[in-house]
Amino acid sequence: MKILVTAKRVPDPNATIKVRPDGSGIVTDNLKYVVNPFDEIAIEEALRLKEKQAGTEVILVSIGGKASTEQLRTGLAMGADRAILVVSEKEVEPLIVARVLQKIVADEKPDVIFMGKQAIDDDSNQAGQMLAELLGWPQATFASKVVLSGDQKSATVTREVDGGLEDVEVQLPAIVTADLRLNEPRYASLPGIMKARKKELKEIPIEQLGVDLTPKVKIIKLSPPPKRQAGKKVESVQQLVQLLHSEAKVI
């Protein structure tokens, strides 16, 4: 079995994000980057399936600048077999991501694709669904549990939906996007880190894939959220009601 997993480079969710004064983007100086947390969960799930199914190969793919090799090496240190970096120094929107992955899938022919349900930098939650449409593959999004059939021709996926949990069965090849409660990603061990240095990491310039790179969406300006006002202490319920009426205007 061959499993393809995405691994996007994103700012550390624990870092303080600042917007440039002109609103053209975020300040990246001294900003720490990590593997997108949902992609990290997807990598862990692929590795767990690899441990259960002998002969399974886990391939990572990322789209970004050469600095993204750091995040791919992290995934390789966790236990993935090899990695592909589609080099693009410009940010690419979800549709372009899906088109690039479509080209990679045509070459690699994986049995299943694991992706994070969304990337925490833009929270678009679109690339997995768009890729499924382009490939004509079934998809199971927001997965909290994945069980492969004995013949590895289908998978039963438990999805988190508004009303609770939903079980769906998809025929492979298929796309599964990982939700937060799917698993707890492992830490890379020291031996794993040493082995990762020798594993294959192939770089492909995005221009070589013949994908239309024209963006459909233009970000005009970014602005930070307004600062939260300090809370107020009240002496009585009557004073609370008065504040809710006069300031919060909720009653």
Q: What is the pTM assigned to this prediction?
A: 0.87
What 8-state DSSP symbol labels residue 21? T
Residue labelled with tokens 């233009």: 218
Q: Tell me if the bond preceding 173 is cis, omega within 30° of 0.
A: yes
Contact of 139 with 128, CB cutoff 8 Å:
yes
Query: Can you point out the beta strands (E) in the chain?
Result: 2-6, 9-11, 33-35, 57-64, 82-87, 112-116, 139-148, 154-161, 164-171, 174-178, 201-205
Write out the two tokens for 148: 């492969």
Number of residues that make up the chain:
251
Provide the residue-wise pLDDT of the chain in tens; the chain has 251 residues: 999 999 999 999 988 888 888 888 888 888 999 999 999 999 999 999 999 988 999 999 999 999 999 999 999 999 999 999 999 988 899 999 999 999 999 999 999 999 999 999 888 999 999 999 999 999 999 999 999 998 889 999 999 888 889 999 999 999 999 999 999 999 999 999 999 999 999 999 999 999 999 988 888 888 888 888 788 888 899 888 888 888 766 66
User: How far is it, in rounded angstroms, from Cα 63 to Cα 45?
Assistant: 21
Q: Which CATH class is domain 2-222?
A: alpha beta
